Chains A and B, each alone.
Chain A
Amino acid sequence: GAGVSQTPSNKVTEKGKYVELRCDPISGHTALYWYRQSLGQGPEFLIYFQGTGAADDSGLPNDRFFAVRPEGSVSTLKIQRTERGDSAVYLCASSLKGTGLQNEQFFGPGTRLTVL
């Protein structure tokens, strides 16, 4: 079946602009995660959804970052007033369940965000 998909694959924006990144999880997966990967580093957790609600948003760096998952499937990560330091690859993952068993996470191809 289809894996996790993310759009766009690349996004170039100017400092101060607003961007939205979209994630489509594997069908039937109730848990959805956002991570951010900077060059030369491992991915870092941003936020986790179980169904429609954000179960853990402790990784969001500041209040310019926000994510939603209104129908428990597709999620959108929103970044306001972008800064050059936001440039990174934004990765989305999904898993069958969020807690305990069956928490193997599968990743999408990522969105490469460049803030000029």
Chain B
Amino acid sequence: GIQVEQSPPDLILQEGANSTLRCNFSDSVNNLQWFHQNPWGQLINLFYIPSGTKQNGRLSATTVATERYSLLYISSSQTTDSGVYFCAVGGYNTDKLIFGTGTRLQVFP
């Protein structure tokens, strides 16, 4: 099956800093989603981005499908950005999502 790797595993930032999270995957995908899991465990949809670039406020994401990676950019980080960020992919022959191990982000004031 498809393997998904996220880096870095942990990230500690001061409020206002920018960061880049990376997701590598091992095969072609037709679904790629970025999620933020808040401290209460809720998975919040950030982007549905199997290819291309999208922006939503301070967050943006880029997926280069031909090179099998996606990047999530967080600018001007806030303490409320803390939590775990997951990348999840779906292949062409399956509808399930395969999740990476996540990046744990802590933003301090």
Contacts and interface: CB of A to CB of B under 8 A. Distances in A.
Interface of A: 31, 33, 35, 41-45, 48, 50, 55-56, 59, 89, 91, 93, 98-100, 103-107, 109-110, 112
B43 A91 contact: yes
B101 interface: yes
B101 A105 contact: no
A104 B98 contact: no
Interface residues of B, number: 22
14 contacts: A33-B95, A33-B96, A42-B99, A42-B100, A42-B102, A48-B96, A98-B95, A103-B95, A104-B31, A104-B48, A105-B97, A106-B45, A110-B42, A112-B41
Contacts of B96: 33, 45, 48, 56, 59
B45 to A, nearest CB: 6
Given A42-B102, A43-B99, 19 more contacts: A33-B96, A33-B97, A42-B99, A45-B97, A48-B96, A56-B94, A56-B96, A59-B96, A93-B97, A99-B95, A100-B30, A103-B30, A103-B90, A104-B31, A104-B45, A105-B97, A107-B35, A107-B43, A109-B41
Query: Which one of A33, A42, A105 has the highest number of Cβ atoms from chain B below 10 Å of its Cβ?
Result: A42
Given A42-B88, A42-B102, A110 B41 contact: yes
Interface string B22-41: 00000000110101000011
A16 B26 CA distance: 39
A10 B36 CA distance: 21
